[in-house]
Amino acid sequence: MVPAVSASLNGSSDVTDFVINQGHGVKGLSETGIKALPKQYIQPLQERVITKIEPRESIPVIDMSKWDDPQVANSICDAAEKWGFFQVVNHGVPLEVLDNVKKATYGFFGLPAEEKRKYSKENSPSNNIRFGTSFSPQAEKALEWKDYLSLFYVSEEEAALWPPVCKDQILEYMMSSKPLINHLLQVLMKRLNVNEIDETKQNLLTGSVRTNINYYPICPNPELTVGIGRHSDVSTLTVLLQDSVGGLYVRGNEGEDSWIHVPPIDGAIVINIGDALQIMSNGRYRSVEHRVTANGSSNRISVPIFVNPRPQDIIGPLPETLANGEKPIYKQVLYSDYVRHFFKKAHDGKDTVDFAKITESY
């Protein structure tokens, strides 16, 4: 499309205006046929290079068909402790629901820029609905090659304001994932000696839900930038649907340069532990750094459901995790303060969690 548009995007401010203000996103930029990556997307060397060492181990794939089996429960807890990431198959979320949400994601990003722009921070009918690009463009020295729509679920009535092209499919995906989410949390809690999830705990673990749809368009110089930079999620846990393109890497256990690819598996869902659960488990379950590479030949989409405490909840190590005299390594923090801290800076790997760390004073 439109080489004339590409030719007219001369300076940085033209690109920023086209991508952010006019609502074309990086998808629009990619579709101009742009041949070289604009300089504001060039990441520092250390952020873009993934050393291609073949890792000796891979992220576990857990078959959930016998989900009451204690061995399945053990695999879930072991993976949460060791990797912070695992994939599940035979998880009970209908495959048709997954297909529908992927199609709906393409539907939303395929809308003209003037339609998508209606959901930008400045124009959105609600603060809980946000179409954007990169992560936090005001705070970032280098931008990321990704557009997103972020939907914080408040109520059915408010969801009526979500873009009609994807609303029903996203709601269906969220609702169909609930039994899986509750089961995973029940199993994970049991290992922490939490045998009953009462209403207070349920709210703490699953009281708010944010679903994002991510679009990573074809990139002219994928080796110079990233789709998403190193970060850990601030959720309790994240249920992530990816398509068949690949590009999600997780920090492995074999040193600084160890990044493990999460290979797309048809019908599988990726699960990752977020910072809130790392804090609540006093570090036993790990919220692990991950990143997404840019791709020179395929567009990619993903759909994370972030399951979180409520903004007004105070999070800290659960009393059950400290019952045996274990020392708390995290303090009590207001969850919305934690999330605001995450959003107001560029991605910086695992540094967000320091916000909740107890610092030794001498």
Ligand X SMILES: O=C(O)CCC(=O)C(=O)O
Residue 228 touching ligand X (CB under 6 A): yes
Residue 135 touching ligand LKXUNLCO (CB under 6 A): yes
Residue 311 touching ligand LKXUNLCO (CB under 6 A): yes
Instruction: Choose, by CB under 6 A, the member of 10, 51, 127, 297 that binds ligand LKXUNLCO.
Output: 127
Residue 127 or 359 having the CB closest to ligand LKXUNLCO = 127
Instruction: Choose, by CB under 5 A, the member of 233, 243, 275, 313 that binds Fe ion.
Output: 233
Residue in 88, 83, 95 with CA at minimum distance from that of residue 72: 88
Q: Give one word for 182, left, alpha or beta, with left for phi > 0 and alpha for psi -120 to 50.
A: alpha
- In 233-318, alpha helices (H): 275-280
Residue 169 or 287 having the CB closest to ligand X = 287
Residue 120 or 211 having the CB closest to ligand X = 211
Decide: 184 and 76 in contact? Cβ < 8 Å. yes
The total number of residues shown for the chain amounts to 362
Residue 345 touching ligand LKXUNLCO (CB under 6 A): no
In the beta sheet, which residues pair with residue 89?
63
Q: Give one word for 325, left, alpha or beta, with left for phi > 0 and alpha for psi -120 to 50.
A: left
Q: How far is the CB of 123 from Fe ion (least distance, A)?
A: 26
Residue 32 touching ligand X (CB under 6 A): no
Q: How far is the CB of 207 from ligand LKXUNLCO (least distance, A)?
A: 9
The residue whose two tokens read 């952020």 is 47
Show contacts with ligand LKXUNLCO in window 196-255 (CB under 6 A).
208, 210, 228, 231, 233-235
Decide: 308 and 234 in contact? Cβ < 8 Å. yes
DSSP state of 118: G
How many chain residues touch ligand X (CB under 6 A)?
Answer: 11
Instruction: Choose, by CB under 6 A, the member of 159, 277, 292, 315 that binds ligand X.
Output: 292
Token digits for 31?
Answer: 């579709």
Three-state secondary-structure class, residue 247: coil
Show contacts with ligand X in window 295-334 (CB under 6 A).
302, 304
Residue 67 or 145 having the CB closest to ligand X = 145
Residue 185 touching ligand X (CB under 6 A): no
Instruction: Choose, by CB under 6 A, the member of 56, 344, 345, 357 that binds ligand LKXUNLCO.
Output: 344
Decide: 233 and 278 in contact? Cβ < 8 Å. no
What gap in Å lies between CA 34 and CA 211, rounded to an integer?
30
Residue 321 or 352 having the CB closest to Fe ion = 352
Decide: 239 and 310 in contact? Cβ < 8 Å. no
Residue 119 touching ligand LKXUNLCO (CB under 6 A): no
Q: How many CB atoms lie within 10 A of CB 314?
A: 12
Residue in 4, 15, 287 with CA at minimum distance from that of residue 145: 15
Instruction: Choose, by CB under 6 A, the member of 43, 206, 212, 287 that binds ligand X.
Output: 212
Residue 343 interacting partner from ligand X, ligand LKXUNLCO, Fe ion, none (CB closer than 5 to 8 Å by kind): ligand LKXUNLCO
Instruction: Choose, by CB under 6 A, the member of 233, 275, 289, 313 that binds ligand X.
Output: 233
Residue 234 interacting partner from ligand LKXUNLCO, Fe ion, ligand X, none (CB closer than 5 to 8 Å by kind): ligand LKXUNLCO
Residue 242 or 321 having the CB closest to ligand X = 242
Q: How many CB atoms lie within 10 A of CB 290?
A: 25
Three-state secondary-structure class, residue 273: strand
Residue in 20, 39, 19 with CA at minimum distance from that of residue 30: 19
Q: How far is the CB of 129 from ligand X (least distance, A)?
A: 16
Dihedral sign computed on CA atoms, order 170, 174, 177, 181: positive
Q: What is the binding site for ligand X (CB under 6 A)?
A: 212, 214, 228, 233, 240, 242, 248, 290, 292, 302, 304
Q: Please report, as ranges, the residues that interact with Fe ion according to CB under 5 A.
A: 233
